[in-house]
Amino acid sequence: MNFKAAVVQVTSTARVSNNLTKCRQFVEEACKAGAKVVGLPENFSFMGSEAEKQNLLGQIERETFLFLKETASELGIYLLGGGFPTKAPSGKVYNTAVIIGPNGEEVFRYHKAHLFDAVVGDGFSYKESNHTESGKKIPEVVQTEFGKLSSAICYDLRFPELFRALSKQGVDLCFLPAAFTVPTGEAHWHVLLRARAIENLMYVLAPGQTGTHDPHGKRKTFGHSLIISPWGEILAELNHEEGFAIATIEMEKLSEIRNTLPSLEHRRF
């Protein structure tokens, strides 16, 4: 079976309604181009300061869920919301990804496990763990008519054992929504995504944030949203512009690669 999948790339800000309006536009355009599975990036509904996030948390969570459910059901697609804040029992937030099915029901939920505490040379000291609670569970893999789907989030990309765990569950398409920094994106984004696809013989769909996100011009992200084949080919890519990238997913080709190069069956450790 062949079908089309798309990844959406945006420059989100602290204005929730504006972000969601823009996301809806690009998702609709991707669907008109034939996409049946669509991914939105990390922080797609809100990207602002921690103080703003706390003040708007209830609104962000409520409006984001409503948007995802309405958009998926009205367009008849599987839609990934690639990372947005939800309340955690500790008083912090989870960085949460969900997949909503074409009937408007949630089929997947994951709390980001690996939190980005790093200094990467772009003028920021990132300390995600100050405000975000780490998820404690490996992402699930959900069976759909378009294969087995799952997702990690952004910094998770650097931890191959997570993706190996997904491959053991038979994942076919794995999302990696992100808001990658410019220095780390330039150095590692393409090579790590291609490696995860090749190592685990799966399609990788990586919707990303792009551009400048605050009025002071300080917070910038790398862009370059990608769709990658299980052979490591870049099937579609955006540069720095907002929009969507779309590619045909060939499930027969996936099976053929796994049969002719059965490296997943050759694991020894």
Give the total residue count for the chain: 269
Does the active-site annotation cover 112? yes
Give the containing element (helix H, strand E) for 54: helix 50-75
Q: How close are the terminal C-alpha atoms of the chain, in Å? A: 33
Q: How far is CA 49 from the centre of its chain?
A: 21
What DSSP character marks residue 133? P
Pairwise CA distance, residues 182 & 173, whole Å = 26
Selecting among 36, 42, 174, 220, the annotated active-site residue is 42
- Decide if 97 contacts 110 (C-beta within 8 A): yes
Token output for 120: 């990467």
Does the active-site annotation cover 154? yes
- Decide if 219 contacts 124 (C-beta within 8 A): yes
Block residue for tokens 């944030």? 209
β-pair type (147-151, 173-175) = parallel
Token output for 134: 């780490």
- Decide if 250 contacts 233 (C-beta within 8 A): no
Provide CB contacts within 8 A for 72, sequence distance 6+: 78, 79, 100, 101, 102, 104
Selecting among 36, 53, 112, 220, the annotated active-site residue is 112
Instruction: State the catalytic residues.
Output: 42, 112, 154
